[in-house]
Amino acid sequence: MRIAILAPPGVQMLDVAGPIDVFHEANNHVSGNDKYQIVIVASTRDAVTTSSGSRLLPDASVADPLAAFDTLLVAGGPGIQGHERDVEVLCWLRAQASAARRVGSICTGAFLLARAGLLNGRQVTAQEGAIEQLPATFPGQAKSGCVFVRDGSVYTSSGGGAAIHLALALVEADWGSNIARGVARQILPFLSEPDSEPESAAKPTTKVSYDERVADLHDWIKSHLPDDLSVETLASRLGMSVRNFARLFKRETEMTPGEYVQVTRVDAARRMLEESNSPLKRVAISCGFFDQSTLRRAFARRFHMTPSEYRRRLRAGKQAATVAYRAA
């Protein structure tokens, strides 16, 4: 899987090095040819002077002919707003994002994504001090106090160590909880834990569980959404009493089993809305909701809009990004 990390002038070194270390460690836990390949991209081939004064040599520039990337990340830095109108960089971002499976930003990297029209209608986050300036840059919802936020295929994070948590979430999405947990054990013992917990626009699985039973159950739930996922069923699967299971699950996931199942189902429905034109009735049944009305109520509680409204906003955002790309 090819991952591009865009390093703007004045980039924070940890915003680049943190995710690279996570992806490199993940490669030690997987086999086959689908390992992560990291490409550091900058506006030119010249060395990038970071916020600390050190110099970072990019692998490529936005002017180079580059194949599509699976994941596109934009690192941040304190001086990024002075470069957010770089037309060549913005055009490159739009072109690469249109082919990427997912895009993301670390801290003020969100300003570049916003200026490129790639955050329209999304819930996003950035570091305190930068988050307050985001609403004036894009039509979306800025969330403060979050380590990172996932909104569909768009990931945004705070700064510093949050970049590592974001990268771990991407590893978990690609390889499952067991691999992410193994990577975290190698990376996180040497870091301070952030003050606030990760949050996602569809918030089920951003916290890596260190209990293998719960981690495996997370993966099993995601692959059995249409089935009976009552607390009794889940407890029975782990061979535990309902009371002991609920206590363990809450400790590891910081949600009750019912809350986790609900947000996981809503998250799956959201992905179906983004990735397909399936009728809402089919989306509801596929994701484990009794009917379309049940999906609508759960979706509205989570995102303050109905599935139909979300789909309309998503299409409008894509059209706006296309118009912005042509204008640039």
- What are the residue numbers of the active site? 107
143: left (phi over 0), alpha (psi -120 to 50) or beta: beta
Residue 313 has φ and ψ, to the nearest 5°, of -65, -40
Distance CA 224, CA 227 (A): 5
Instruction: Note the Cα 87 to chain centre separation in Å.
Output: 25
Task: List C-alpha distances in Å: 137 to 91, 112, 121, 127, 171.
Answer: 17, 10, 12, 15, 29
Closest residue by Cα to residue 229 from 304, 284, 280, 287: 287
Q: What is the CA radius of gyration of the chain?
A: 20
Enter the tokens of residue 241. Answer: 């009493």
Cβ atoms within 10 Å, residue 250: 14
